Amino acid sequence: MTIGGALIIPGDGQHVMKSRERSKCRPATFTPRRCMVYIAVLFMLGLRTVGAQGDPCWSRSTRSERTSGSTTGDYGQSTLCTAEGICQGGSTSSPSQHDELPVEYAFAQSLFDKGYYYQAVVEYERFLFYHPDHPLSGQAQLNIARCYQQGKQYKKALQQFRTVLETFRGTQLAVEAAFRIGETSYQAGEYEQCIMALTRFLDSFPQDARSTQALYRIGWAHIQLDEYITARDMFLRLGSRSADPDTDGYYAASRIIAERLLSLRDARERSPVAAAILSIVLPGAGHLYAGAYKDGLLAFLVNAALIGATYEAFDKEIYVAGGLVGAVGLGFYAGNVYGALNSAHHTNKERIQAIVRPLAKRYEYIDQGSSRPRGFEGMP
């Protein structure tokens, strides 16, 4: 029989004692449920240890203390988060002297600085939901638009910038939004919208420090629209201004671009009309004039063969075959004229791009807050 889990053999007391000793020394069995309990206990102890260190993001203070009050660390110093999401220690002071940055805004700014733009949008919106009347609510709305711009969601960025412009008229937020509408339109390939937006920006804020960048971007928008004469005049206008220490890089780059665009005037341009007329007179001649030598030779051989076949068919009084071949030959002849016209346009475009592409690679993009275009290193 058994008593307390031990097997008892009548008349054998030693067996009872050994069984009990074995039950005491038996190791504990780690069931899945028991493991989960141990992990939960360790996790709670870890959170409690981190919260005790005075970190405002993990402290055990109430919600009001996180958003409006100061969080005091172990050494009697208040911890304050800056706009860049960096926590700085300072002397103990009252909330009226230093308003702590809301943790939602600090986290969103940290995500933005690290390039996590979509996650930053969510956190900025969370901040606006909890703090709709906070002084940084306008900056948060502007930063949401910047996140969309950096994430190449230009349609959403433009819509958000326009909302900020309308909501915060008369403030620096509106000035920033007005400029970024033009820049975002350029990045989206809407060059005419870019020109209109930046022209309005210059008319509304002529003394703004970004006026030079706005003129510079308008010039590049005209280049993208193949309006090279207008672009050249814009860069000449900008490059002729007196050099300013803060924007000297843009003035110097504008002078270089204007000089390169002036060289287009001296370059020999292929006339599309002349190319078409030459191809009418002699198939393939217009291509040769435009510089497309292989296309010109091919056009001459194909048209010569079809014209010869048509003449041969009619000469032998095979009128049906002659008519069919002649119809095909007429199509190739018209294609030859149209091809010469396009070849002249293409040659002119390539000649221009040979000048513009190196300029775009080096001088096209502007850096916010910089005194020179991105990649600009001075006069070549």
Mean pLDDT lowest among 96-100, 115-119, 228-232: 96-100
> Residue ranges per domain, the chain?
99-207, 272-363
Measured CA to CA in angstroms, residue 251 lies from 199, 242, 377 at distances of 19, 8, 13
Looking at residue 259, the DSSP 8-state letter turns out to be: H
Alpha-carbon distance of 77 to 88, in angstroms, equals: 10
**CA 228, chain centre distance (Å):** 26
**pLDDT tens-digit series, residues 120-134:** 999 999 999 999 999
Residue 49 has pLDDT above 60, yes or no: no
Three-class SS of residue 147?
Answer: helix
Give the pLDDT of residue 84: 37
Terminal-residue alpha carbon distance, the chain: 103
Confidence of residue 376 (pLDDT cuts 50, 70, 90): very low
Three-class SS of residue 11?
Answer: coil
Summarize the confidence of residues 310-338 as an average pLDDT: 87
348 or 2, which is more confident?
A: 348
**pLDDT tens-digit series, residues 355-365:** 788 877 777 76
Summarize the confidence of residues 304-325 as an average pLDDT: 86
Summarize the confidence of residues 148-172 as an average pLDDT: 94
Residue 85 has pLDDT above 90, yes or no: no
Q: Which residues contact 121 (CB under 8 A, 6 or more apart)?
A: 144, 147, 148
Residue 60 has pLDDT above 50, yes or no: no
Give the pLDDT of residue 132: 92
Summarize the confidence of residues 240-244 as an average pLDDT: 60
Give the pLDDT of residue 266: 63
Measured CA to CA in angstroms, residue 24 lies from 5, 6, 7, 27, 31 at distances of 11, 11, 15, 8, 19
| The residue to which tokens 């309005």 are assigned | 200
* Radius of gyration from C-alpha coordinates of the chain: 38
Summarize the confidence of residues 74-96 as an average pLDDT: 34
Question: How many helices (H) does the chain have, and how many strands (E)?
Answer: 16, 5
Give the pLDDT of residue 167: 94
Residue 65 has pLDDT above 50, yes or no: no
Looking at residue 72, the DSSP 8-state letter turns out to be: E
Angle separating helix axes 211-224 and 228-239, nearest 10 degrees:
160
Would you call 45 exposed, middle or buried from its count of C-beta atoms within 10 A (0-12, 13-18, 19+)?
A: exposed
Give the pLDDT of residue 24: 47
- Write the single-letter amino acid at 357: R
Would you call 249 exposed, middle or buried from its count of C-beta atoms within 10 A (0-12, 13-18, 19+)?
A: buried
Mean pLDDT, all residues of the chain:
75
Looking at residue 366, the DSSP 8-state letter turns out to be: B
Q: Positive or negative CA dihedral for 36, 40, 46, 47?
A: positive
Q: Which fold has domain 99-207?
A: 1.25.40
Q: Which residues contact 21 (CB under 8 A, 6 or more apart)?
A: none
Measured CA to CA in angstroms, residue 149 lies from 141, 171, 185 at distances of 13, 21, 10
Give the pLDDT of residue 233: 87
Alpha-carbon distance of 109 to 84, in angstroms, equals: 6
Confidence of residue 160 (pLDDT cuts 50, 70, 90): very high
Summarize the confidence of residues 143-161 as an average pLDDT: 95
Strand 78-81, strand 87-90: pairing: antiparallel
- Nearest residue to 215 (alpha-carbon basis) of 229, 201, 204, 226: 201
Three-class SS of residue 55?
Answer: coil
Residue 284 has pLDDT above 80, yes or no: yes
pTM of the entire predicted model: 0.60
Angle (CA) 86 92 94, round 5°: 100
